[in-house]
Amino acid sequence: MNSTPPSMAFEPRQTSLGGRAASFVSRSFAAIEAWLELEREQLALWVPVGLATGIAAWFLLPDAAQWLAFCCGALATACLGAMLPLGGRLRRLLVAGGLLAAMGCLLVWGKATLVGEAPLSRATFTQVTAEVVSVRPVPAQAMVRAMLRPIDAPNLPSVVRVNIASPDVPEGLGKGAVVRFRTRLMPPAPPAMPGGYDFAASAYFQGIGATGKALRPIEVLRASTQAPPLRARLFAHILHHVDGPAEGIAAALATGDQGAIAEEDAEAMRRSGLAHLLAISGLHVTALIGAVIFLLMRVMALSRRAALDWPLMLIAATGGALIGIGYTWLTGAQVPTVRSCIAALLVLGGLAMGRDAITLRLVASGALLVLCLWPETLVGPSFQMSFAAVTAIVALAEHRRFRAFAASRDEGRMRKIARGLAVTLATGVVVELVLMPIALFHFHKAGMLGAFANLLAIPLTTFVVMPLEAMALLLDTVGLGAPLWWLTEQALNLLLAIAHGVAASPMATLLAPTMSHALFAMVVIGLLWCLLWRSRLRWLGLISVVSGVVSVLLAAPPDILVTGDGRHVAVRMEQGMAILRDRAGDYVRDTFSESAGYEGVMPAIATLPTARCSTDLCALRLTDRGGRAWRLLFTRSDVLIGRQAFARDCAAADIIISDRGLPRWCHPRWLKVDRRLLARTGGLSITLINGEVHTVHRPGDAHPWIFRPQRRTQRTTSPQSAP
């Protein structure tokens, strides 16, 4: 029998709901602190991530009010962290993270304000008198690219870039020359499509305010008296000694200039996952410095006194550092090369002190230094892919199981070779998996066979091509380099054969439509979570990575793509993609292909059975993935069309797209895309099933490289109102 009095069942509980919540918060805080204590050695790796968060926010947010709001939010996070108990790691993490995020936003904002060239306000046809700043030959495109500083032209930017066709290049063109010519200057081009490459932003930080093509005749008012720089002379020297497609690869490996590589070879290198070999990066700098250290150690070891009394490693590391700095200067001191040189110098410093320098802390130090000096590189594929690849390699090497598998041991030669190949292949696969979402975001395609191609290409480049080329250049000083140049050419032809063979496979690349910034951020956060932590909780990041990549692969590709000038339109049909103007060039077709995640032939819209086209107009009946029929109307000429017929066609169309300004009495059922609208939005991508319209330009974007004329807003109806 229960002896508890009935009245006690209605008495208040000893622990209130507020007490339980406080207890839960306390236990959660203790668990987080215990986990952070376990990961204490990894916390410093998140310092560049905090700085990068603020830099990325400045690029993503449109105007100064939101930049300031982000800084205030970051500082508020730091203040919130300061209210936590003293001595806790979570407290320090929040304070440092908030301060770093605010510093990153202010850093890139300040650099954009103090450094950079505002774009030309509008296209201008003019005669230019300018001083030549630099000249770069681009043999693959039969032209020369010149950077110029206009003289007595207050209406022009301080630096412009023009292309000069090779037959039109005058004598005496070089640094310091003064030239005069006619040209049509344009503002640096924004992305042709949403998610495309933003040359305007890159040009702003490079100091380029306008681009154009010089027209004949080109007068040289003052010839250059300066000798071509060493890099240009080395570039020309290599092209003279190597023939065929290999010449461009040879020149790129030595100078970092890819201007002599044919487009089909460059595309094959990209599709096969070997494009990283063309850019002077960690592989090249490491190979050169390693070779120098190896030679110096061997030469000094020949002396008994040096071997016993001298600090050989310190001397060899110093020699390698000097050679690395010289190589970086020779190849133009581009940001990727400088970044690789900094990392190499940090490694050499660690080796000289007898420490294990190849760690994730080294990678974080290099990233932090680059972000402080060049914060704008964060949003480019070069920074993201190079640091992601190096981080993946080092994180894999630090994993205890992989390290145990890769460690040297007493075993037969065949087993040792097999183990080395397995380690190389595993490293390549991990790098490919890490780089896949970054490649999908920037290029809308990712290599699938790059790990296998690199298994052959990296040893070939590192141990055959680069030593042969270095020895050929050395022997050229006494006129004996010809045989080695021939061997270099054959080795490079083999490299190109590997690239073309892998690129020809239908499984070489994975295509996907444009990835949103939110999905990309989710994937990057997941990758960093997996790579920078060491405990088992690191694998929670795979949820974010897999979810983001699957969302991209399953995303509905756009149904209609429109370039920023309105001249070119592509639509998605059941049979594939079709294009409005069948004379569109390869650049336009490649842009549509990448943005839509489609690789195939694009016929003209006029050839489709559901299209009715004349010289001036083209009407198309399109069915979206939900089974709804849409009526599209395109203009194809500048001929004035009768109002009565055109008004009837406009009223019958759901969407009308034109490269000219349409009259105000033209009222389609949903959307009117003409020159006035495109001047504000740039290129468009339209998904019909959900009525999404993505634009290149965002409303109110105040970044300094953006210029758009202000026009009255065009009213559009909801897609649901169109029948």
CATH number at residue 221: 2.40.50.550
Compute φ and ψ for 63, nearest 5 degrees.
-140, 175
Q: 291 with 366: CB under 8 angstroms?
A: no
- Give the C-alpha separation, 508 to 446, whole Å: 8
Does a structural domain hold residue 673?
yes
pLDDT of residue 356: 58
Domain containing 169 equals 124-226
Buried/exposed 685-716: b ≥16 CB within 10 Å, e otherwise: bbbbeeeebbbbbeeeeebebbeeeeeeeeee
Cβ atoms of 561 and 193 closer than 8 Å: yes
* 221 shares its domain with 195: yes
* Residues 633 and 649: beta-carbon distance below 8 Å: yes
Domain-located, residue 64: yes
The answer on 580 and 640 residing in a single domain is yes
Residue 11: the pLDDT is 47
- What is the pTM (predicted TM-score) of this model? 0.86
* Greatest extent of the chain over all pairs of C-alpha atoms, in Å: 115
Model pLDDT, residue 710: 44
Residue 386 lies in a domain: no
118, 358, 365 from 343: Cα distances, Å: 33, 9, 8
**Does residue 652 sit in the same domain as residue 701?**
yes
SS3 621: strand
- Helices 360-373 + 89-114 axis angle, to 10: 40
- Give the span between the Cα atoms of 472 and 454, in whole angstroms: 25
On whether both 82 and 208 belong to a single domain, the answer is: no
- Residues 64 and 130 occupy one common structural domain: no
Residues of the chain with pLDDT under 50: 1-2, 6-12, 710-723
Query: Strands across the sheet with 655-657, in order?
Result: 611-613, 617-623, 629-635, 655-657, 671-673
Q: What is the pLDDT of residue 401?
A: 87
In this structure, what DSSP letter does residue 534 have? Answer: -
* 133 and 203 belong to one structural domain: yes
Tell which of 114, 146, 171 closes a domain. Answer: 114
| Phi, psi angle pair for 200, to nearest 5° | -60, -45
Q: Give exposure, 462-471, as e/b (b: 16+ Cβ within 10 Å).
A: bebbbbbbbb
pLDDT of 106 reads 97
Instruction: Look at residue 321 in the predicted model and tell me its pLDDT.
Output: 81
687 Cβ contact list (under 8 Å, min separation 6): 556, 557, 558, 559
Assigned domain for 394 exists:
no
Decide if 663 contacts 676 (C-beta within 8 A). no
Residues 6+ apart with CB under 8 A from 334: 256, 280
Looking at the structure, tell me whether residues 573 and 702 fall in a common domain.
yes
Judgement on whether residues 717 and 674 belong to the same structural domain of the protein: yes
Are 625 and 603 in contact, with CB atoms under 8 Å apart? no
Q: Quick check: 190 and 204 in contact, CB under 8 A?
A: no
Number of domains in the chain: 3
C-alpha triplet 452, 342, 359: angle, nearest 5°: 60
Estimate to the nearest angstrom the gap between the alpha carbon of 420 and the chain centroid. Answer: 31
> End of a domain among 226, 258, 293?
226
Do both 570 and 646 map to the same domain?
Answer: yes
3-state secondary structure 214-231: EEEEEEEEECCCCCCCHH
Asked if 684 and 587 sit in the same domain, the reply is yes
Strands (E), 337-494: 445-447
One domain, residues 163 and 37: no
